[in-house]
Amino acid sequence: MFDKLIPLGLTSTEAKIYVTLIDLGKAQAGIVSRKTGIHRRSVYDALERLIEKGLVSYIKENDKRYYLPTDPQRIDELLHETQASIATILPALKAKYNEVKQKQETLFYKGVEGIKTVFEDQIATGQDVFIYGAAKNATEVLKYYMPHFTNKRIAKKIKLHMIYAGKRIGNPIPLAAVKFLPVEFDNPVATNIYGDKVAIILWTYEPIVILIKNKDIATAYKSYFDLLWKLAKD
């Protein structure tokens, strides 16, 4: 039973001693030590902490100290006190967490589902996407998902600005501006820039994505894209 009290803020030693005192009614520290198998010095230390928490009290009889458990209802009170204490600091913790998260966030995804997560984030962001190193096999890797993504993108009027290495073979891409660099620039890594995020995608049949959320980094990558866009051909 005592292990159920540990998540409520008691140590294993404190919980074991408290439950033992419930069984005994009242007892000296030595008796508690023998019953629990806990060293007497540790028992004394734990009893003092339990007294501070209001879970144990003591009386003196013939100059001997006897320890008594308080009503278990006190455990419920402690739980509510802990919740109230957490509630007072939670807003500040959340604000700090969001502040740090907004400054920079790097996430790693693997597999087709990871790519879908990033593409859905592009839809949610709702801003144009700038891509260099655009993958010619993206439609093949995302064969069943890509039509849904394209429909959502068109519905939200999100335009793609894409730079391919070498000529792309296939149907024209809806709502997209496309340019080309020499085939020597071809590699399996594509960079997608949207909003304050940069997604670096390794387009293999087991894709890997590094998603960076950082305004300064996104701006730097966008500047590089703009330079390549000037160099690329229609």
pLDDT digits (tens, 9 = 90+) for 197-214: 999 999 888 899 999 988
What are the structural domain ranges in the chain? 2-74, 102-231
Nearest of 132, 136, 138 to residue 231 by alpha carbon: 132
Min mean pLDDT across 29-38, 49-58, 129-138, 161-170 is at 161-170
Please state, rounded to an integer, the average pLDDT across all residues of the chain. 87
pTM of the complete model: 0.57
Q: How far apart are CA 227 and CA 189, in angstroms?
A: 18
Percentage of residues in the chain having pLDDT higher than 70: 93
Q: At the top level of CATH, which class does the domain 2-74 belong to? A: mainly alpha
Whether the Cβ atoms of residue 214 and residue 195 lie closer than 8 Å to each other: no
CA dihedral of residues 184, 188, 191, 192 (deg, nearest 10)? 120
Cβ-proximal residues to 182 (8 Å cutoff; 6+ apart), any chain:
165, 166
Which CATH number fits the domain 102-231, given the four candidates 3.30.870.10, 3.40.630.30, 2.40.128.110, 3.40.50.720? Answer: 3.30.870.10
pLDDT at 1 over 70: no
Give the DSSP letter of residue 183: G
